Structure 1
Amino acid sequence: MAMTASTAGRRYSNATYRAMRRLKTVGLYAGVAAVLAYMLFPYYWAIVSSTKTGQALYQFTLLPALDFSNYWQLFNNPVFMGALVNSGVVALVSTAISLVIGILGAYALGRLHFPPGRMVLIAVLMISVFPQVVVLSGMFEVIGWLGLYNRPSGLIVSYLILTLPFTTWILTSFIRDLPKELEEAALVDGCSRLRILTHVLLPLMGPAIASTGLLSFILAWNEFLFALTFILTDENRTVPVAIGLLTGSSRYEYPFGQIMAASVTVTLPLLALVLVFQRKIVAGLTSGAVKG
């Protein structure tokens, strides 16, 4: 009888344990599904709304109507297409400049030990967390003094204050994790500091450069406040400002469908870049997380 009771208790315990495990698994998947639904629903709603016009915008449907008239109107809008080109040029140039300067600054801060180095790194971090509105008036004076007001080059200069501190900080952390033995061996062989950076360390920084460059590109691509302040004419505007200034056929019409179509359109280049560089992005973001 004692053995029977013990066996029954063990079976009851095992059944309870399996039920608890199944309940935890179901709860985990339910939580993941809820998070995914919360994150993906705005994109789904934007795609569905971009294919609606007129009264259909106010009717709820699960599947899009596949009406691409909003996209055709956008692609036939020279202001919006010019804004796409302007955003691409400004984002690419500002990202390239911030990467070049950021790599040099990161090498100096990560490898060359000098007394004010720590203070410089702290200053870089402080600049990166400043809100844009804090530096807006100062940047306005700088852009006006340089004669770059209402020019794409003025946006490039202003975007560097956003992308350069971020790039320098991330690349400094990555360079510090690289083996110092490689640099010491190159110094013994007579290589200069610049040659060490370009021929020894730079090939190892591919994942970090890809992830940092992509994040800087996204930051410059989505920037709105500087573009709205420093650009006045339609031919020099960028995509975020062009979307904000879209108007309907009359002053009382709000072009919600076109705005959603524009939002979907400007998101596609970013998705393409993420898909192309996804392996390097993951490697760059996780580098240095595990040491051994």
Structure 2
Amino acid sequence: METAGKSVPTIPGNTFLYQLKRKLPYIISYGILAVTTLPVIFMYLWLIIQSFASNMKYGLIPEGFSLENWEFLWTNIVYKGAELPSIWTATWNSLFFAGMLTVLEVLIGVMAGYALSRLTFPGREQILKITMILHAFPSIALLIATFYILNFMSLYDSLFGVVLVKTALQIPMTTWIIKGFFDDVSWDLEWAGLIDGCSRIKVWFRIVLPQVKPGIASVSIFSFLSGWSEFLLLYTFIVSNENVTLASFLQRLTSDPNMVNYGVLSAISLFYLIPVLVFFIFTQKSLMKANVGGVKKV
């Protein structure tokens, strides 16, 4: 470095302090992230080790390697002297429940969101105002009323019946999110299609829907994850072994704290996580592209 024709030597200490000052915000941010995420990472590591260990000394130190905890993949578990349903039956039921929920929620939410965004009809503003209020109702407050409705419709102990209940509870939020994405689509695109002779449905399907693919993708992902992790409604309204899901299956293993086999419980918990991880790996790009659309008009 030169000043007024004279060279000034660079002081190493000043350079170090300057670099430290620049990196201090990153150091603090990563430090906070490490402190908050390490406990979660350790819990998952414990889960993996516990599922493959023949014994855990003091609950932390694995002793020996064994696949005994994973025998539920090819044999049924006997718990309290009774044989539990097949894990594959529970897995299929969980996939059916999450898949049906996703299809119905996205289909209804997309149509309702478009109608609220583009169409003018009596009561539109009132519907928009009460949408979030409907979503705010906790599921547990509606259990008794839901039981009477499902029983009256002969849908008690039916996966499809619970799918309808879960869909009804999720639709308000889905509609609100999708409406925000439709609000961001320019009217000019629709007018261009209508001028070219396309019908309103054709314009919606071929021109508008492709513009809101990120919103549809994000809603689909969250719908599937919500259905896959659902417990309360399924635990309350599903009683037969033929309709049991993985969440209810895990609850049965923990119904008696004195008889819990933590090795088997850890293995089944990992098995429960695998579809979610696979689903996230294939959908993370769509999820990262999605941003919550702005609700610009009421």
Check the 8 A contact 2:183/2:293 in 1, yes or no: no
Q: What TM-score do the two structures reach when normalised by structure 1?
A: 0.85
Residue 285 of structure 1: how far off its partner (Å): 3.1
Q: Counterparts of 2:134 and 2:180 in 1: how far apart (Å)?
A: 17
2:195 is equivalent to residue 188 of structure 1: yes
Q: What is the alpha-carbon distance in structure 1 between the residues aligned to residue 277 and residue 259 of structure 2?
A: 31
Q: Is the 8 A contact 1:74 1:262 kept in 2?
A: no
Give deviations 1:100-158, integer Å, cap 9, x for gaps. 11111010011113342232123221122221111111111111111101111111111
Amino acid of the residue matched to residue 264 of structure 2?
A: Q
Matching residue of 2:274? 268
Within 2, Cα distance between the matches of 1:31 and 1:207? 31
Q: How does 1:25-104 map to 2 (within 5 A)?
A: 25-53=26-54, 55-56=55-56, 58-61=58-61, 66-77=65-76, 78-104=85-111
Amino acid in the other structure paired with 2:131 = V
* 1:256 is aligned to 2:262: yes
Shift, 1:179, TM fit: 1.7
**Distance verdict in 2 for CA 1:286–1:173, change over 3 Å:** closer
Task: Name 1:207's counterpart in structure 2.
Answer: 214
Structure that is richer in helix per residue: 1
Mapping of residues 87-126 of structure 1, within 5 Å: 87-126=94-133
Confirm or deny: 8 A CA contact 1:102 1:171 kept in the other structure: yes
SS in 2 for 1:281: helix
Q: Distance in 1 between matches of 2:229 and 2:91?
A: 11
RMSD: 2.8
Q: CA deviation at 1:274?
A: 1.0
Which residue of 1 is the match for residue 20 of structure 2?
19
Matched-pair contact (CA < 8 Å) for 1:93–1:156? yes
| Distance of 1:213 and 1:179 partners within structure 2 | 23
Q: Which amino acid aligns with 1:76?
A: T
Following the alignment from structure 1 to structure 2, what is the Cα–Cα distance between the partners of residues 90 and 25? Answer: 43
Distance 2:182 2:127 in 1: 16
Give SS of 1:56's match.
strand
Q: Which runs of 5+ in 1 are unaligned?
A: none
- Number of residue-to-residue matches in the alignment: 281
Query: Where do 5+ consecutive residues of structure 2 fail to align?
Result: 77-84
**How far apart, CA to CA, are the structure 2 residues paired with 1:101 and 1:186?**
24
CA shift, 1:287, in A, is: 5.9
Aligned twin of 1:238: 245
Aligned sequence identity (%): 29
Counterpart of 1:129 (choices 129, 136, 152) is 136
Structure 2 CA distance, aligned partners of 1:186 and 1:20? 56
